[in-house]
Amino acid sequence: MSDHLVIDVRGAVKKYGTGQASIYALDGVDLQIKSGEYVAIMGPSGSGKSTLMNIMGALDNMTSGKYFLDGIEISSMDENALSIVRGRKIGFIFQSFNLIPRTTALANVELPMAYQGIKSAERKMRALKALEVVGLSDRVDHEPTELSGGQQQRVAVARALATRPALLLADEPTGALDSKSTHDLLDLFDQINAAGRTVIVITHEADVADRAKRVIRMRDGKVVSDTMNDRRAGART
Amino acid sequence: MSILEIIRFAFRGLSINRLRTALTTLGIMIGVSSVIILIAVGNGSAKSIQSSLDRLGTNSIQVRSNAGGFGGQRARASTANVKPLTILDAVALSDPKQAPHVKQAAPIANSNNTVCSFSTSTSTPSTFSGTWPSYFEASNAKVSKGTYFTTEDVNQSRRVAVIGQTTATELFGTDNPLNQTIRCGGIPFTVIGITEAKGSQGFQDGDSLFLAPITAVENSLTGYQALSSIIVEATSSTTTDLAQTEIQTILDARHKVKNANSRDYRLFNQASLLATSSSNSQVFTVLLGAVAAISLLVGGIGITNIMLVTVIERTREIGIRKAIGAPKGAILTQFLIEATILSLVGGLMGVAGGFIGSQFTIIGVKPVIVPASVFLAFGVSVLIGLFFGGYPASRAASLRPIEALRHE
| The pLDDT value given to residue B52 | 64
| The pLDDT value given to residue B75 | 42
The whole-angstrom separation of Cα A100 and Cα B250 is: 85
| The pLDDT value given to residue B206 | 73
pLDDT bin (cut points 50, 70, 90) of residue A234 is: very low
Question: In terms of CA atoms, which chain A residue is nearest residue B399?
Answer: A79
Q: What is the mean pLDDT of chain B?
A: 83
Lowest average pLDDT, out of A203-217, B28-42, B84-98, B277-291, goes to B277-291
pLDDT bin (cut points 50, 70, 90) of residue B71 is: very low
pLDDT in tens, B93-124: 888 888 888 888 899 988 888 899 988 888 99
Give the minimum alpha-carbon distance from A107 to chain B in angstroms, rounded to a whole number. Answer: 11
The whole-angstrom separation of Cα B243 and Cα B240 is: 5
| The pLDDT value given to residue B70 | 44
Average pLDDT of B313-331? 88
Lowest average pLDDT, out of A185-189, B237-241, B320-324, goes to B237-241
Q: Is B329 on the interface with A (CB under 8 A)?
A: yes
Average pLDDT of B323-327? 89
Contacts of B319 in chain A (CB under 8 A): 98
Q: How crowded is the C-beta side of B330, counted as CA atoms within 13 Å?
A: 28
By the 10 Å C-beta count (0-12 exposed, 13-18 middle, 19+ buried), B251 is classed as buried
Name the percent of chain B lying above pLDDT 90. Answer: 11
Largest Cα–Cα distance of chain A, in whole Å?
A: 56
In chain B, where the domains are located: 3-52+276-406, 59-269
Q: Is the pLDDT of residue B224 over 90?
A: no
| The pLDDT value given to residue B395 | 84
Q: What is the mean pLDDT of chain A?
A: 89
The whole-angstrom separation of Cα B394 and Cα B343 is: 18
Contact partners, residue A70, CB within 8 Å, separation at least 6: A6, A89, A166, A167
* Phi/psi of residue A32, nearest 5 degrees: -120, 130
Do A115 and B328 lie within an 8 Å CB cutoff?
no
Give the minimum alpha-carbon distance from A61 to chain B in angstroms, rounded to a whole number. Answer: 10
| The pLDDT value given to residue A169 | 94
pLDDT in tens, A112-164: 999 888 898 999 999 999 999 899 999 999 999 999 999 999 999 999 999 98
Q: Shortest CB distance from A115 goes to which of B324, B402, B405? A: B324
Lowest average pLDDT, out of B52-61, B166-175, B244-253, B258-267, goes to B52-61
Q: Is the pLDDT of residue A167 over 60?
A: yes
Give the minimum alpha-carbon distance from B396 to chain A in angstroms, rounded to a whole number. Answer: 14
| The pLDDT value given to residue A173 | 92
| The pLDDT value given to residue A236 | 44
Q: Which of A50, A56, A4, A59 is nearest to A30 (CA)?
A: A56
Q: Given CA atoms B2, B5, B9, B15 in this order, what sign does their dihedral have?
A: positive
- How many CB atoms neighbour CB A126 within 10 A? 19
| The pLDDT value given to residue A148 | 93
Contact partners, residue B334, CB within 8 Å, separation at least 6: B6, B9, B10, B13, B393
Domains of chain A in start order, with CATH, are: 36-64+78-236 (3.40.50.300)
Contacts of A101 in chain B (CB under 8 A): 317
